[in-house]
Every structure is written in structure tokens, then in C-alpha cells.
């Protein structure tokens, strides 16, 4: 009973209280999800873009789990996105049209690949990790290209049929079902990730990120922990890929392209890594900037986007979230000083 009470009312004076403080949902967080859901009715003309943002956010979130919390650098995270997309697409093409079932199977397929490749990835230094993850993604892309009779090769996988979500919501041309579906999945997985990173397991990951030699010496099975998080992140990315395939009912080779992995890394840096929300905020900022700039100048939007990114990295340490936090601290500091006078 005592434990339950302290869960709801964390007490920062005790160690347990300090650990529980970030677990509590802040009003701003709840507001965010309410606004995100209400956009389904408030901004019907933007739901297609919002759907893309939700899927991207889930993908970047999965990268944050390994990079932000466990310190595993990856340039090939797109591999899992691709496996999930092709798994879901192929299921839809061959008659298994239930979206939720497809989502789970696609996640499992990506997770399996994540588990197997984690043993390769966890060897060696950061540079080796970059190369190995990059290599795995390249190999998968070439495989998808070579087995054109299964994947559709460079023409892409057509004829993906999707049944209604939970047997109730038919995918419509306005993208309402798509957004509602993607947002729900993102919310559930965000909730799970939030619990995960604030659990003792999550804290241990952060300790491993800080100094893996030392955690090893303390008796933490470092590799075991890293394999687990790598696999979980792969499942997340696979589900993001499955959402992409199911809501667009098409899969092409570019789901395995290098730019997907690179974009995810960029967005994570933009939003701020190691804070979960950074992935979501980064995705929103990136896509809205893209949509806005590309509408003004379809040819040269990349230049402006690049400029903004450079500025953010230069002046906002820790991405957008880091910038917000440091300005808040600065403001509080100034106000505090003013009050003292």
C-alpha cells in the first residue's frame, strides 16, 4: 500500500522518490496526446501527413531506445523498418489481411532479425558498429532486389490488401483510419517504452552506456542487456515499417534505403536523444519543416532544411528538447535572481 501511494505521489527527498519522479505523467504530456488525437477531427486535411509523422516518430523512437539509452550507434536501423514493411506487405498480399495480426507478425520478424544480428553488432567499437549495421541494411536491400519474384524487386510490391482495423475501421482515402491506427500504436508503444526506460532495467542500460567496463565489473551481464534492448528496438522499428506498408498498401525498395536510417539519426539529434520525447518532437519538427519548405520551393527545400539543422545543432545542445530545457532553466535562473533582489 505504501509503495502504491509513493508511486502516485513521488517524494524527491528519498532515493526511491527521485527514481520515480520521471515516471509520473506530466500534464503537458497528457495534453500532447489529447491534442494529437483531436487533430483527427480538427485537421482532417492534414491527417495523411500526421500519419506519416506518427510512423516516423515510432521509427525514431526505436532508434532512441538503442542510441539514446544504450549508446549503440547504428546507421542501418532502416533494415528493421524494411523487414517489417515487407513482412506486413507480403502478408497483406497473400490473404492475411488483418492489420493488427500483420503488425504483430511483422514486429516478430524484425525482432528475430534484430536478435540474430545483435551478436554481430555488439562486437567491437562504435566505428565497427556503424559499419556492421550499415552492412546488414545493404545486404537486406540487395536481397529484396534479387528476390524480385517475392518482393517485386525495384518495381515494388503491389496488390497489398488490408482488411478493416479490428474488423471495424476500413482504410479510407482521407487517411483518417490510417492516422487513428498509427497514433494508437505509437501511443501504446510509447507508453511501454516509457515504462521500460524508467524501470531498473532502463536505469541499468543508462549505466552501461555511461561505462560498460564498470557495469561489467559490478556483475551486470552487459551483453545480455544490450541484446535485449537491440531486439526490442528492432521489434519497434519492424512495427513502424508494418504501419508504413499497411497504411500505404505498397512496399518499395526505398524502405531499405540508406537515407531512412540516416534521416532517423538526424531527427533524433534534432529532437534530442535519450529522452523519448525527443524522437516525437524531432519527427514533428522535421516533417512540418519539410512540408512547409517543399511547398514553397520544391527544388531547393533541402538547402533550407539543412541550414536549420546546422543552426539547431550549433546553438541548441541536446536538440530541440535540450534547447527548451536550457532556456527554461535560464529563465528560471533570471527570475529567481530578480526575486532575490
Partner 1 sequence: MNRRHLFAAAAASLALFAATGAHAQQTVKIGLILPMSGPFASTGRQIEGMAKLYMAQHGNMVAGKKIELIVKDDTGTADVTKRIAQELVVNEKVSVLAGFGLTPLALATAPIATQAKVPTIVMAAATSIITEQSPYIVRTGFTLPQVTAPLAEWAPKNGIKKVVTLVSDYGPGHDAEKAFKETFAKGGGQVLAELRVPMANPEFAPFLQRARDAKPDALFVFVPSGVGSAVMKQFAERELAKDGIRLIVTGDVLDDDILNGMGDTALGVVSSHHYSAAHNSPENKALVEAFKKSNNMRPNFHGVGGYDGMHLIYQALKKTNGDADGTKLLEAMKGQSWTSPRGPVSIDPETRDIVQNVFIRKVEKVNGELYNVEFATIEKVKDPVKAAKK
Name which of 20 and 83 has its Cβ closer to partner 1. 83
Binding letters toward partner 1, positions 272-311, x by CB under 8 A = ----------------------xx--xx-xx---------
What does the alpha-carbon distance between residue 33 and residue 36 come to, in Å, rounded to a whole number? 5
Q: What would the grid cell of residue 72 be?
A: 549503440
Residue placing its CB nearer to partner 1 in the complex, 148 or 221: 148
Site for partner 1 contains 49 (CB under 8 A): yes
For the CB of residue 105, give the shortest distance to partner 1 in the complex, in Å.
Answer: 20
> Considering beta carbons, is residue 133 or 248 the nearer one to partner 1?
248
CA atoms within 13 A on the CB side of 220: 21
Judged by CB under 8 A, which of 11, 126, 155, 170 binds partner 1?
Answer: 155
Strand partners, 165: 169
**What's the grid cell of residue 282?**
524531432
Minimum CB distance to partner 1, residue 159 (Å): 9
- Work out which of 14, 18, 158, 184 binds partner 1, going by CB under 8 A: 158
Q: Which residues contact 87 (CB under 8 A, 6 or more apart)?
A: 102, 105, 106, 109, 110, 238, 241, 242
C-beta of 82: minimal distance to partner 1 in Å?
12
Candidates 1-9, 42-50, 92-100, 209-217 — which segment interacts with partner 1 by CB under 8 A? 42-50
Closest approach, Cβ 23 to partner 1, in A, equals 35
What are all long-range contacts of 182-185, with beta carbons under 8 Å and residues at least 24 apart?
A: 182/51, 182/54, 182/55, 182/58, 182/243, 182/247, 183/36, 183/37, 183/40, 183/50, 183/51, 183/54, 185/54, 185/58, 185/103, 185/239, 185/243
**Residue 140 neighbours by CB distance under 10 Å:** 21
| Mask for 113-152, x = binds partner 1 (CB under 8 A) | ----------------------------xx--x--x----
Amino acid at each position: 500500500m505504501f509503495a502504491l501511494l509513493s508511486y502516485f505521489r513521488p517524494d524527491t527527498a528519498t532515493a526511491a522518490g527521485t527514481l520515480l519522479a520521471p515516471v509520473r505523467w506530466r500534464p503537458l504530456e497528457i495534453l500532447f496526446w489529447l491534442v494529437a488525437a483531436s487533430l483527427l477531427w480538427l485537421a482532417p486535411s492534414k491527417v495523411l501527413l500526421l500519419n506519416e509523422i506518427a510512423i516516423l516518430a515510432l521509427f525514431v523512437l526505436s532508434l532512441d531506445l538503442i542510441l539514446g539509452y544504450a549508446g549503440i550507434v547504428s546507421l542501418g536501423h532502416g533494415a528493421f523498418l524494411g523487414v517489417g514493411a515487407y513482412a506486413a506487405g507480403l502478408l497483406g498480399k497473400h490473404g492475411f489481411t488483418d492489420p493488427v495480426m500483420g503488425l504483430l507478425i511483422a514486429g516478430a520478424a524484425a525482432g528475430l532479425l534484430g536478435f540474430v544480428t545483435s551478436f554481430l553488432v555488439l562486437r567491437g567499437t562504435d566505428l565497427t558498429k556503424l559499419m556492421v549495421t550499415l552492412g546488414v541494411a545493404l545486404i537486406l536491400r540487395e536481397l529484396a532486389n534479387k528476390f524480385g519474384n517475392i518482393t517485386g524487386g525495384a518495381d515494388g510490391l503491389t496488390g497489398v490488401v488490408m482488411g478493416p482495423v479490428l474488423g471495424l475501421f476500413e482504410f479510407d482515402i482521407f487517411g483518417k483510419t490510417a492516422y487513428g491506427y498509427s497514433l494508437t500504436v505509437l501511443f501504446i508503444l510509447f507508453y511501454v517504452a516509457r515504462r521500460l526506460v524508467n524501470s531498473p532495467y532502463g536505469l541499468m542500460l543508462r549505466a552501461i552506456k555511461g561505462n560498460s567496463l564498470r557495469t561489467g565489473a559490478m556483475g551486470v551481464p552487459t551483453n545480455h542487456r544490450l541484446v535485449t534492448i537491440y531486439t526490442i528496438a528492432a521489434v519497434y522499428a519492424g512495427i513502424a515499417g508494418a504501419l508504413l506498408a499497411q497504411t500505404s498498401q505498397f512496399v518499395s525498395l526505398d524502405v531499405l534505403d540508406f537515407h531512412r536510417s540516416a534521416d532517423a539519426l538526424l531527427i533524433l539529434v534534432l529532437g534530442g536523444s535519450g529522452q523519448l520525447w525527443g524522437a516525437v518532437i524531432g519527427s514533428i519538427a522535421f516533417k512540418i519543416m519539410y512540408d512547409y519548405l517543399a511547398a514553397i520551393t520544391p527544388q531547393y527545400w533541402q538547402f533550407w532544411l539543412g541550414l536549420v539543422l546546422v543552426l539547431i545543432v550549433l546553438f541548441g545542445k541536446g536538440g530541440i528538447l535540450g534547447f527548451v530545457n536550457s532556456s527554461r532553466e535560464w529563465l528560471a535562473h533570471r527570475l529567481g535572481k530578480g526575486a532575490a533582489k
